[in-house]
Amino acid sequence: MRVLSGIQPTGRQHIGNYFGAMRQHLQLQADHEGFYFIADYHALTSGPTAKELAGYSHDIALDYLALGLDTEKTVFWRQSDVPEVTELAWILSCVTPMGLLQRCTSYKDKLANGFSPSHGLFAYPVLQAADILIFDSELVPVGADQKQHIEITRDIAGYFNNTYGEIFILPKEHIIKSVAIVPGVDGKKMSKSYNNTIEIFGAEKSVKKTIMRIVTDSTPVEEPKDPENCNVFALLKLVASEDELKEWDSKYRNGGMGYGDAKKRLAELMIEYFKPYREKRAQLEKDPKYVQDVLADGARRAKAAAVKTMLRVRKAVGFGAYNV
C-alpha cells in the first residue's frame, strides 16, 4: 500500500512531532511503499524568511535520515521540487466550493494564533489534497489535528470525479492513527507555535533545562500525587520501560517523591532514547552533499509518479499532454 505524509519545515522538530507523527512514518516504511516529503510550499503560509525556510527544510531532512528513513525503499523529497502539485492544486481549486474551505477549523485556529489571512493559508487544504491525490496515496498517517484535511481531500476528489470521471481512486481508507497529544512543558499541546517544546535534537544541556521547567502542580513532596494528571508522567510514558513506569506510578501514588526526581529521570531517559540518532545526525551534518543527493533522487522518483497522474488529469479537463 502506498503511504504518504508531509511535514512542514516551520521549526525544529520536537518530541510531539516524533511520537505523534515521525515515528509512525518510519515504522510504516517496513511494510509499505513510503512517500514522505518536506512540505515547504505549505510552510510558506506561515511567512518564514528565506533563510528560515531553507534552514528548517535542511534540518528536517537531517532529522528523518538520522531517525532511520530508508532511502532505498522510501521516496523522500522536498515538495517544491515537484511543482506539478501546484498545478493540480489549481485544477482542484476550480471544483472546490468556497463553503468547504470556510468550514475548515485549522484556518480559523491559525488566524487566532496570529497568522496573516493570505489566500495561500485559506487554500492550504486544496494543496494538501493535491499532495495526497497526485500520488494515488492509500494511507495518510497524520496526527488527529489533520483529520479534517483528509476528509476535505476525499470531498475534493469526489467533486472532481463527479465532474470529470473517475480519475482519482478514492482510497479505500485513510488511516488516521492518532496518538495521545504530547503535552508541552506548559501542559498545553506541544507545538512549535507555543514555544513549549522539547527538541528531539536540542543540545543535551538545554534538553535537561527544558525538562526541569515542566509545569507541575504544587502538591508537597510527602503527599500522594496523581500520575494521570501530570505532564512529567505523560512524557515518561513515551520513553520509560513498562517496569520502570510501574515503579514511577507507585512512587507517585505513595507520596514521598518530588517532581524534581521524576524530571531528572525523564531527562536522562529522553537523552538516552535519542542518543544513537543524535550520533547519526552529527555524522550526516558533515556531509550536506549526501542530503542533497538523497533529496534529488527522491524528487526524481516523486516527479515521475506525479507526472503520470497529471497526464490523466490534464486529459480529463481538456488540456491534453504537455506541449513541452
Q: Which residues are catalytic?
A: 110, 189, 192
Among 71, 148, 193, 219, binds ligand ADP (CB under 6 A): 193
Please give the single-letter amino acid code of residue 175: I
Site string for ligand ADP, 160-179 (x = CB under 6 A): -------------------x
Residue 13 CB, nearest approach to ligand ADP (Å): 8
The listed partner (ligand TRP, ligand ADP, none) that binds 128, CB under 5 to 8 Å by sort, is: ligand TRP
Q: Binding to ligand ADP by residue 21, rule CB under 6 A?
A: yes
Does 140 bind ligand TRP (CB under 6 A)? Our answer is yes
**Options 143, 171, 202, 227; binder of ligand ADP; rule CB under 6 A:** 143
Tracing cell 517496569 back to the chain, one arrives at: 243
Query: In the bound complex, what is the minimum distance in angstroms from residue 103's beta carbon to ligand ADP?
Result: 19
Q: Site for ligand TRP (CB under 6 A): which residue of 8, 45, 46, 74?
A: 8
Q: Which residue is nearest to ligand TRP (CB)?
A: 6
Please tell me the distance from the alpha carbon of residue 64 to that of residue 288, in angstroms, as a whole number: 14
Retrieve residue 40's grid coordinates: 515547504
DSSP, res 4: E
Contacts of residue 36, defined as CB under 8 A and 6 or more positions apart, other chains included, come to 4, 5, 6, 7, 25, 64, 69, 74, 75, 76
CB atoms near residue 165 (< 10 Å): 10
Q: Residue for cell digits 476535505?
A: 152
Q: Least Å distance between CB 63 and ligand TRP?
A: 14
Distance CA 175, CA 224 (A): 40
Cα separation of 133 and 125, whole Å?
A: 12
Identity of the residue, 64 or 233, whose beta carbon is nearer to ligand TRP in the bound complex:
64
Q: Which is nearer to ligand TRP, 147 or 314 (CB)?
A: 147
Determine, following the binding rule CB under 6 A, whether residue 189 of this chain makes contact with ligand ADP: yes
Which contiguous run of DSSP H or E holds residue 40? Answer: helix 40-43
**Rounded CA separation 125/306 (Å):** 18
- The binding site for ligand ADP (CB under 6 A) comprises 7-8, 10, 16-17, 20-21, 142-143, 145-146, 179, 181-182, 189-193
